């Protein structure tokens, strides 16, 4: 039971990390688009 609880906690942490990474990727892609648009004459 202890092992299962530890694995579930690790899976939850990994899920949170994946969410943060996805948000960062979306933010970077959005900022990249805006900078490209602003630099074009």
For 7-35, write each residue's pLDDT tens digit: 999 999 999 999 999 999 998 888 777 66
For the chain, the structural domain boundaries read 1-41
pTM confidence score: 0.59
User: What pLDDT, on the 0 to 100 scale, is given for residue 4?
Assistant: 95
If one compares 1 and 9, the residue with the highest pLDDT of the two is 9
HEC letters along 1-41? CHHHHHHHHHHHHHHHHHHHHHHHHHHHHHHHHHHHHHHCC
């Amino acid at each position: 039971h202890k092992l299962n609880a530890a694995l579930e906690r690790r899976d939850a942490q990994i899920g949170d990390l994946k969410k943060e990474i996805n948000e960062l990727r979306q933010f970077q892609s959005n900022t990249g688009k805006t900078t490209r648009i602003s630099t074009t004459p």
